[in-house]
Amino acid sequence: MISPARQAAYEVLLRVFEHEAYADRAFRSAAEGLDERERGFAQRLAYGSVQRVRTLDHAIETLGRRPVRKLDPPVRAALRLGAYQLGYTDTAPHAAVNESVELVRRARLERAVPFTNAVMRRLADGIRPLLEALPEGPLKESYPDWIHEVFVRVLGADGALALMRAMNEPLETVVRLVRGDPPAGAEATDVPGAYRVERVDDSLVADGRIWPQSRGSQLAGLCVGSRDGERVLDLCAAPGGKTGQLRGEVTAVEIDPARARELRANLATMGRSDVAVVEADGTALPAELDGYDRALVDAPCSGLGVLAQRPDLRWRAQPLPDLQLALLRSAAERVRPGGTLVYSVCTLDPDECEAVVDASGLRVEPLGEEWPAFAHPSRPEFLLTLPSVHGTSGFFVARLRSPA
């Protein structure tokens, strides 16, 4: 008998690594019908296994003595799930072994059952010592080498290790207060309007009282500084958390029709029916979108600051500096002379952060004095929130001025 939680986690592993599905979407489908306790366990198993897959594969290959890439997909998924339970949870070894074997049997791969059983037993005996003996670094913490190298560039070796460890653990849960009083038991933070909570109350979200949004993300929205009576442009606006923070006459641009629908729905939930949503390419804006007082460019990026929330992202992340620069320049053309632009990305990669701002040629307005707790460690005119330092998602924020 396979527990519903393990079955759901197994399906997520198959869909993410064999069909290139996104972990959160795969999990929503796989976990349908699970009760709250099972759902929580399934999510821990699924997300942990996806996150730690580099380390898990190393253990499977070392102890199983066969390349993971040559295994049948159901065997690969079952071993990864079993290895995660043995290496990173307090699951009873016999339960992890037996259910991994049963998953392979249920996949009608009877010929692979003896192999799966043998490898799982070796993992039960040897994975903990193997993990403990690994040198500190990207293999032990399960990151691609290139991401580790980026983190070292920004923070040095010790800072990179602390950052990798922090993003392998759940970060704080924070909501933005949209209206009314803070939720019962919520804790105010160092970002105005941001409250730390034990869990997000979905009924309060549905009522438009709160919005789930990290302190790093809220900080970016606050830095825009928009006021009533101003015209504000928001590029790449979906899903709309920052859009909902903006005051004034707001135009929110989103290129993807499905994400634009999501943006409209989220803004309606927040009570922001006053925001005009335009479906357009942010690098080729319609002529009528012009003369704005302020703009927010929350550009698509590699997402290296939100790897804690998105377990599969580290395996598919790509830097996007050319697109980011094109979006920033496009927005700058639509802001009135002397107007303000905020450029934000949820990454820590210098090529997508300060290098894009430097290449834009726009004048930088220092932010570090305004928000000293979040000042960039080497470029204090910018902000850089760090999961390992601030406990929130990683965001780079720059405020710029268009030529007068």
| Cα-based angle 71, 139, 19 (whole degrees, multiple of 5) | 40
Instruction: Give phi and psi for 360, each to the nearest 5.
Output: -70, -25
d(CA 43, CA 119): 24
What residues have CB less than 8 Å from 198, skipping those under 6 apart?
173, 185
Is 301 annotated in the active site?
no
CB atoms under 10 Å from CB of 28, counted, come to 11
As a whole number of angstroms, the longest Cα–Cα distance in the chain is 73
Question: Which element (helix H / strand E) includes 194?
Answer: strand 194-196
| Cα-based angle 341, 345, 348 (whole degrees, multiple of 5) | 130
Total number of residues shown for the chain = 404
Task: Name beta bridge partners: 343.
Answer: 297, 398
What residues have CB less than 8 Å from 108, skipping those under 6 apart?
none
Structure tokens at 76: 């690969």
Do the strands 249-254 and 276-279 form a parallel or antiparallel pair, or are they unpaired? parallel
- Annotated catalytic residue within 223, 301, 346, 353: 346
Residue 317: closest CA among 22, 68, 69: 22
With beta carbons less than 8 A apart as the criterion, state whether 389 and 380 touch.
no
d(CA 353, CA 378): 12
Do the strands 194-196 and 174-177 form a parallel or antiparallel pair, or are they unpaired? antiparallel
Helix 36-51, helix 53-64: angle, nearest 10: 70
With beta carbons less than 8 A apart as the criterion, state whether 297 and 320 touch.
no
Residues known to be catalytic = 346
